[in-house]
Structure 1
Amino acid sequence: MLEENDKIVKLPVSFYKNGSFTEGEDVVVREAPVTLYLNDQEFVTLVCSPGELKELAVGFLCSEGVLLKRENLKSILINEDDGLIWVETAGESTSQEMFLKRFVTSCCGRGRASFYFINDTRGVAQVDSDLHIAPRDIFYLTDQLEKLSGVFKTTGGAHSAALCTRDGVVFFYEDIGRHNAVDKIFGRCFLDGIPYADKILVFSGRISSEILIKVAKMGIPVIVSRSAPTELAVKLADQLGITVVGFAREGRLSLYTHHKRVAD
């Protein structure tokens, strides 16, 4: 895993304040395109922060319904300097016609409503978990996310995601893309065989329908964000048995679905 300093760079900048300019340096988050080849065919180009490319590639393929079982992942080869990833999977090759050829941006993902494409529905099932969490635990976890978000604090240009139990953070990722940060969580869990039923995803960004679907595919029962959910995300969460907690900061939160999991 790259150090925080490998994800930022200093650039010359002109600052304007009180009617005059001064010259100086500012710290900016790094951004790089990475092309993923699936079974020797170009599959997608992702724009992401450097580092954790194995987790990102695997998580993206899990999100897309390409990887459903650990034994189907045969090999991963990464050339980080040139931004290239080769993934080989077992079984039948994925039909390119099943996917929309696209350039996945760092901010808004594919820019489409969820379940419009067949690969969105793969691996989605009702989430069944008896997990309960208290509001004080939620505030503790959001505080931990903020403390760990060093790239965001330095640049203001990154999103954060953490897989947590009620007691603390299991692991944490930052990336310029909120989708990427969650895919890195997904990939790490897939590679390490981490169970989901007792976990919480704590997240810095907006809970869109696409983020919600990633959480559903992992089988995580609770997603917490310091930001807002969308209407479609809330509707999907209600149908799929996922608790959505938004605006969790400064001693307050908004509980949108499956309230029974959150109680003192």
Structure 2
Amino acid sequence: MCALRLSHARLPATLEIDVRDEFGETRRQAIAAERALTVYLNKREIVTLMTLGADPEALVVGYLRNQGLVPTRDDLAAVHVDWDVEAAAVVSRRAPDDLEARLGQRTVTTGCGQGTVFGRLLDTVGLAPLPRTVLAQSTLYALLENLGAYNETYKSAGAVHGCALCHQGEVLDFVEDVGRHNAVDTLAGRLWLNEDDVATSADIFYTTGRLTSEMVLKVAQMGIGILVSRSGVTQKGVELAERFGVMLIARAKGRHFQAIHATERLVYDARPTPRAGDRKTSSM
């Protein structure tokens, strides 16, 4: 099998512009980059992604993987990103027989920049049973504290979401992009391209975005059974998590969280001292 030909077209995630603050003073401010990247698979236009451009090859590979448009890593022959024409050309040795039919069926998903799922993926995806990983409450708290060292683009410019591959309380890899779906696709692409131990050791996925059907599906495809977010959940996200065996930890901030599908999987070994108002029900 010939080696994969891969470009390296990373761009800075932020740029600086002049802004005027509340005192009328002019200052330089970092803002998140937002670039259009049109993906072509074997010369067939697939989709245009809005992205920071920080790791475009991994984003494109992860997107095609999660959509089921490239069956295996060995099918990839080349991925070439050219920012002069804002395009990514992907050559695959094999594509789905029903590619045209899939591209004719699109579901625009929720989220920043809007994601797209092709070809009724929810009806066709085949997944092996996910490991019913057990999570200790103390480990969750340690992970949330460790994640505070990341979010570099968000801290300087805002306007982005972050996702992370984690092993218990350790952050293995972290990606930011203008949409949470881009961030998870980039991590999926890195796993496929690198084929390292991260793929087998990651057992928790963290996102700053909502736990929607799209997020649950993509994490399940990566074989990870615990999905953590500082945001809330959607009805379809809860339904799919039950179907795939994913434990959801929503609204995870500080010492607070809401666990879903967590029976016999969440160990309460660090219960915080209740305070007035802690037990109030909050909307998701």
Q: 1:109 aligns with which of 108, 114, 136?
A: 114
Report the counterpart of residue 169 of structure 1 in structure 2: 171
State the Cα deviation string for residues 238-264 of structure 1 (Å, max 9, x = none): 121000001111112110113322213
User: Does residue 1:133 correspond to 2:131, yes or no?
Assistant: no
State the Cα deviation string for residues 61-111 of structure 1 (Å, max 9, x = none): 011111232212122112234322111112246623311487999715247
Distance 2:199 2:18 in 1: 46
Distance 2:59 2:30 in 1: 24
* 1:101-250 mapped onto 2 (5 Å cutoff): 107-110=112-115, 117-125=119-127, 127-193=129-195, 194-196=198-200, 199-250=203-254
User: Does residue 1:31 correspond to 2:34, yes or no?
Assistant: yes
Report the counterpart of residue 60 of structure 1 in structure 2: 63
Contact 1:225 1:248 survives alignment (8 Å)? yes
Distance 1:144 1:123 in 2: 33
Could you tell me which runs of 5 or more consecutive residues in structure 1 were left unpaired when the two chains were aligned: none
Contact 2:161 2:208 survives alignment (8 Å)? yes
User: Does residue 1:77 correspond to 2:80, yes or no?
Assistant: yes
Q: 1:97 aligns with which of 91, 96, 101?
A: 101
* Secondary structure of the corresponding residue to residue 195 of structure 1: helix
The 1:127–1:195 alpha-carbon spacing in structure 2 relative to 1, beyond 3 Å, is farther
Q: CA deviation at 1:120?
A: 3.8
Equivalent AA in structure 1 for residue 185 of structure 2: D
Report the counterpart of residue 15 of structure 2 in structure 1: 9
* Secondary structure of the corresponding residue to residue 148 of structure 1: coil
Q: CA deviation at 1:119?
A: 3.0
State the Cα deviation string for residues 16-58 of structure 1 (Å, max 9, x = none): 35xxx33333221111000111011221110001221111001
Equivalent AA in structure 1 for residue 73 of structure 2: R
Taking structure 1 as the reference length, the TM-score comes to 0.87
Contact 1:127 1:220 survives alignment (8 Å)? no
Distance 1:93 1:40 in 2: 15
Taking structure 2 as the reference length, the TM-score comes to 0.81
Contact 2:230 2:250 survives alignment (8 Å)? yes
Q: CA deviation at 1:188?
A: 1.0
Give the number of aligned pairs. 257
The 1:130–1:256 alpha-carbon spacing in structure 2 relative to 1, beyond 3 Å, is closer
Could you tell me which runs of 5 or more consecutive residues in structure 2 were left unpaired when the two chains were aligned: 1-7, 270-284
Contact 1:44 1:101 survives alignment (8 Å)? no
